[in-house]
Amino acid sequence: MRSAPVRATVNGYAATDHDHGGRQEGAGTVSGKKANGGGGTGSGAAGGDGSGDVLSAYRGKRHFERTAEPRGAGATGADAPSFVVQIHAASTTHFDFRLEVDGVLKSWSVPKGPSADPQDKRLAVPTEDHPLEYREFEGVIPSGEYGAGSVIVWDEGTYRPLTSGSGRAPASFAEALERGHASFRLDGAKLRGGYALTRIRRPGEGDDGREAWLLVKEKGGGASGSGAPDPARARSARSGRTLKQVAAEADGTEGSGDGGAKKKNGAKGRSGGHR
């Protein structure tokens, strides 16, 4: 039996360990990892178990003979680092915000989703690093598997780090994250302009000891008064499908049935007109 989601309050924000069905073990952290920069061609830091595998926490939670999620085969990044925002209908529906850093996707669970309104401060809870291939994952994680539920790619694109170091020495994006504040410019189909991630609680602090960040839209280009979309109505930037349509296709009750665990990457068509 799965345990109930772990809930905490961080500076007035309700935080839930809902990213993968309420399981808390191996929760991600952005602190304490020296890395080589903001691009996607680096090898990444060593895994927390000393194995040297930065994806060990990710792989240890999944049965790849059952789930279509990518194992991670060492894909290389493009010249500009990528980002992806996925909507995940797990035990609690939420948004996953992922940035390519040193060959992996640094990941945060954002309960209310990224907002284009600079007045909105979105709680972002770190989860384990994901492989670069995960930016293409759209489908259904089978029942009984870690994070069971439907996933769509709500937005994707590239980003440009804006954070600089002290004095004349520029900071890598990974170092900026380690220090607890990183600003960047998104160039996606839906999210555009400057954003910032700021750590508001370190690991080990607070009642539950979980690290917490805020994701905030900066003023300027891409800013608007609109928040995140309704997850139930939001459509994929890749296929134009909703979470419900992805689940229905996996069940064989609608469409071609190609949205489930047998199809790893979902439909490739972009539908930029949908939120």
Q: Is residue 269 part of a domain?
A: no
Q: Is residue 69 part of a domain?
A: yes
Q: Is residue 217 part of a domain?
A: yes
Structural contact between residues 98 and 126, judged by C-beta atoms closer than 8 angstroms: no
Q: Is residue 257 part of a domain?
A: no
Q: Is 165 helix (H, G, I), strand (E, B) or coil?
A: coil
User: What is the total count of domains within the chain?
Assistant: 1
pTM over 0.75: no
Q: Is residue 259 part of a domain?
A: no
Expressed as residue numbers, the domain containing 215 is 7-251
Return the pLDDT at 166.
Answer: 54
Q: Is residue 274 part of a domain?
A: no
Encode pLDDT of 223-270 as tens digits. 887 778 899 999 999 999 999 999 999 887 643 334 333 444 443 333
Report residue 259 as tokens.
């949205």
Q: Is residue 122 part of a domain?
A: yes
Q: Is residue 261 part of a domain?
A: no
Structural contact between residues 10 and 200, judged by C-beta atoms closer than 8 angstroms: yes
